[in-house]
């Protein structure tokens, strides 16, 4: 079992969600996050005052999948979230030791 964490541009969320549903992925956790990478922040100007805003709003999607489905899911995320410009985000894939479905107490792949 693997966990995919994808940091993407907020306006790409709908496209990414649609791409994932098309390959049959039924659940995900989405959060609004802030951060920066090479893109850095932007400048805001209010009358005479200039402020550099380092942290930009991003969306983080988390999905846990059986190993066999990870590659297609990553492909779907990357192709749907890509604009080709700096700041498109990143995808992290990591191992997950255990999953428990709270309602039924099923474990492992059955709980996904």
Partner 1 sequence: MKKPLFLFLLTASLAAGMTAAAAPAAQRAEPTLEQRVADLEAYVNNGSRGADTNTAVNSKLGSCDPKTNAFTPNPGPGPNAWQMISAALVLFMTLPGLTLFYGGLVRRKNVLSVMAQCLLLTGLVTILWYICGYSLVFHKGNSVLGNLGFAFFNHVDSSPNTDYSYWVSQNVFAIYQLMFAIITPALIIGAIAERMKFSAVFLFMTLWMFIVYFPQAHMVWGIDGLMNGVFNSDAKIHAIDFAGGTVVHMTSGWSALVLCLILGKRLGFGKENFSPHSMVLCMVGTGMLWVGWYGFNAGSAVASDVIAANAFTTTTLATAVASFVWPMAEWFFRGKPSVLGFCSGAVAGLVVITPACGFVTPGGAMLIGICAGLIPWFFCYKVKAWFGYDDALDTFGVHAVGGTIGALLTGILARNAANANLALNLKSFITDTPLQRLVIEQLKAIGITLALAIVGTTVIAYTVKAVMGLRPSEEVESIGLDLAEHEEEGYHG
Residues that bind partner 1 (CB under 8 A): 44-49, 51-53
Q: Pick between residue 49 and residue 94 the one whose CB is nearest to partner 1.
A: 49
Give 94: exposed, middle or buried? Use CB within 10 Å, 0-12, 13-18, 19+: exposed
Return phi, psi of residue 14, to 5°: -60, -45
Please give the structure tokens belonging to residue 47: 């009358």
Min dist CB 72 to partner 1, Å, is 38
Q: What's the min distance (Å) between Cβ of 79 and partner 1?
A: 33
Q: Which is nearer to partner 1, 33 or 53 (CB)?
A: 53
Provide the minimum distance between the beta carbon of 96 and partner 1 in the complex, in angstroms, as a whole number. 31
């Amino acid at each position: 079992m693997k966990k995919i964490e994808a940091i993407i541009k907020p306006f790409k969320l709908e496209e990414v969600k649609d791409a994932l549903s098309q390959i049959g992925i039924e659940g995900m956790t989405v959060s609004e996050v802030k951060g920066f990478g090479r893109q850095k922040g932007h400048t805001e100007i209010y009358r005479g005052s200039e402020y550099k805003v380092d942290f930009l709003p991003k969306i983080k999607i988390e999905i846990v999948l059986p190993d066999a489905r990870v590659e297609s899911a990553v492909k779907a995320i990357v192709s749907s979230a890509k604009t080709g410009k700096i700041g498109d985000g990143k995808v992290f894939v990591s191992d997950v030791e255990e999953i428990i479905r709270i309602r039924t107490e099923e474990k492992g792949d059955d709980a996904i």
